[in-house]
Structure 1
């Protein structure tokens, strides 16, 4: 019997899974500016989901507390206290409330809110007058409030909170990150220039594959040039690609800019798999279609990457190409830099999951069967820095995409150098 329990236990969620789920929920809360009470009620992106109890909110508060994310810990502890006061089952309410207040007080202290920490500590002492840690903390908080220098230290230099790593906190306050999150919410962050020049067309390139069924090409942005292709992948092809990729899905990795090694990172949360050209006729067919549409050779491109984003899955702003300082990024491939990106959307997403370009204000929302394409490099090989983009967190549903990173080698006669530097 024990063998069976151990066997099935390996498929059960681990503590690491629980931490990841909590982090994803906080990411959604911040990106989409979701109210804590709405999340607890199960309202996400207009879709009704499971409601959270006072204990559930308390667990989220503890998980974020243990990660030293005291901002979110306070939010969820406060809501846990509110739900505890309204729940019908009053069993162990006093003990649970005391524990919540203990967490709440220290979270507020770490955020620099000493007065608030003292208020929660005093409330805790009314429930448990002999609580040793709370008694000591009360003396400490009172002393800090009397001492001006200590009070300034508690708030942090320049008014910065102490609830996050300074480097991480500064990045999340950056203009780029604020633009990224605003675009994810569907906001218009800047005026899109030359919209009157945007056009749609049928693309054939005199290629036999496209003569009978031209690609439906739509301009999204002109400089850098970003286009969408409509009805470019059939449902049967999508199902086939999903079926091939699913058994191979593993946590997606990123390339370390210094070492060139692949590693997992918190700024990219998804699962991915790679499909070879000769793995299945459908893969070869999709590769041939991309070559026909773009006019670029797929012989030196990377394998077709399939990615699955679950709830909260995302990829923060990044470049697809290697910058000058990343000299060893694609050295092992021997095919040069990534000249272009072709991105298929293989599912609709109920809420969230857009592809956004923070520096030009472009946002592309997933639509099953469509694809996006853009060049990462100018004709002279220099990187196009405005192609920095991100995959927004999935708020409701599951997001499936597949992409092809096309490299420089083999394109010499297909996309020759231009006469001007930024052509």
Structure 2
């Protein structure tokens, strides 16, 4: 907004919720907005339909194979069946010469799977890219850090903060959903590939634990195996300085894959390192959490997120109060705004019901088709960054009369000119999985001086 000092932060929150948007998200940006995540449900429903048709085709094929099997088996089980019967003799020869060949070389199975693959290829362009998997995995790590969530709890679908012996339930989803061993492995591997062993190790440990519990069970959808998890976890521990754990896991790997020469060489290397430095057997490496971006205020920022009900209650601080606000504007005389002072330094005010539910819903609908990955200024370029995970859209007041009324309301309350060039257009933001915007300066350049707090959408 235009330069002015002491502007009250206008917290008229328009929290975008998952709707039924039109159009597809850009590949690689699905994770950055919950509306895009919700949009991914549509192609999966199409895939479910394709799989249902495939299963029905396979069930019919297997019923036919079962019929053939039962027919032939009944002939073999009937010891009284004489081969001297010319009809039986003929059918035996025919079965062995052609029937079995037709069964074994039937194209029905390949036709069923071909139809499934063709359908998948038509949907594939609407599916999230691997960058989305990476982004979603990093989002889980971000939630893990900011709220001090326990990885074992997350794997079970429980959002718990563990601090020493104290366990606090932070969120209880309506439906408990657990992660698989392969899910945990993929999260750990994203951190592993970034060289972030602080996050990789607990996720890979959980993957190893789950793979051990289901060893021998084959799941079509899994990419990884117990051997993969052991391999990555062993090297992660080695990189973190825990040679003893790396050796133990590498030896376990060789129990399942004894012919793996690379792992055998690793075992010899770890044994040599421990022989040369016996103290490393009991040494526990302390893995530091990556400080990216480097934020001096990170602990304070995350502490605010972790603290429930941290705002003082009004009766505790008399200078915090509620009132009806008109700002001496005729526009607000008949319908004043409900004002709540929630902080003095800096001065922050919350205006309740500044935007009605119907207005918010309409604004979300207007913004939905225009949502794009949020960016930050980097020199002359606008770039997406890891410390801002969201999508945003800018709405001019010419889009709908509702926006004109909203501008009038903001202007009446603040006394400021909210038209360009003194103000930006209305920005609507939808945050993604673990969506956030790290603490930052809101002014574009140093020469602009102190900029007032923006209207928060």
* Alignment TM-score, normalising by the size of structure 1: 0.68
Q: Deviations over 1:3-58 (max 9, x none)?
A: 97555321111111111111111111121122122212222411134221222222
Match of 2:137 among 12, 22, 30: 22
Higher relative contact order (CA 8 A, sep 6+): 2
Could you tell me how far 1:253 is from its partner in structure 2? 0.7
1:270 aligns with 2:390: yes
Q: Name the SS of the counterpart of 2:430 in structure 1.
A: strand
SS of equivalent residue, structure 1 residue 9: helix
Aligned twin of 1:211: 333
Bigger fraction of residues in helix = 2
Structure 1 residue 274: Cα displacement: 0.2
Q: Does 1:143 align with 2:269?
A: no
Give the Cα separation in 1 of the matches to 2:338 and 2:226: 60
Contact 2:342-2:349 within 8 A present in 1 as well: yes
C-alpha displacement of 1:188: 7.4
Q: C-alpha displacement at 1:262, in angstroms?
A: 1.8
| Change beyond 3 A, Cα 1:42–1:9 | same
The answer for the alignment partner of 2:204 in structure 1 is 77
C-alpha distance in 2 between matches for 1:133 and 1:192: 62
Q: Report what 2:352 is aligned to.
A: 230
The answer as to whether partners of 1:220 and 1:226 remain within 8 angstroms in 2 is yes
For the residues of structure 2 that align with 1:89 and 1:43, how far apart are their CA atoms?
27
Task: Give the 3 Å change call, closer, same or farther, for CA 125–312 of structure 1 in structure 2.
Answer: same
Partner of 1:113: 242
**Superposed, which structure 2 residues align to 1:142-181 within 5 Å?**
142-147=271-276, 161=288, 164=290, 168=292, 171=294, 174=296, 176-181=297-302
What SS does the corresponding residue of 1:10 show, helix, strand or coil?
helix
Checking the alignment, whether the CA contact within 8 Å between 1:144 and 1:150 is kept in structure 2 is: no
Deviates further, 241-250 or 100-109:
100-109
2:172 matched residue in structure 1: 46
- CA 142–190 in structure 1, closer or farther in 2 if over 3 Å, else same: farther
Deviations 1:100-128 (A, max 9, x none): 21111001111222221122112223333
Equivalence for 2:128:
13
Q: What is the root-mean-square deviation in Å for CA atoms of aligned residues?
A: 3.2
4+ aligned runs moved over 6 Å, structure 1 = 1-4, 188-194
The answer to whether the 8 A contact 2:254-2:260 is kept is: yes
Is the 8 Å Cα contact of residues 179 and 189 (structure 1) preserved in structure 2? no
Distance in 1 separating the partners of 2:308 and 2:180: 32
Structure 2 SS opposite 1:255: strand
2:188 is aligned with 1:67? no
Gaps of 5+ in 1: 331-335, 344-401, 403-423
In 2, distance between residues paired with 1:268 and 1:212?
A: 40
Aligned residues of 1:31 and 1:184 also touching (Cα < 8 A): yes
Please give the alpha-carbon distance, in whole angstroms, between the structure 2 residues aligned to 1:131 and 1:3: 37
Match of 2:455 among 321, 337, 342: 342
**Once the 2 structures are TM-superposed, how far is the Cα of residue 286 of structure 1 from its aligned partner?**
0.8
Instruction: Indicate conservation of the 8 Å contact 1:182/1:189, yes or no.
Output: no
In structure 1, which of residues 283, 296, 299 is the aligned counterpart of residue 403 of structure 2?
Answer: 283
TM-score, structure 2 length as denominator? 0.63
- 1:334-358 CA distances to partner (integer Å, 9 max, x unpaired)? xx86333122xxxxxxxxxxxxxxx
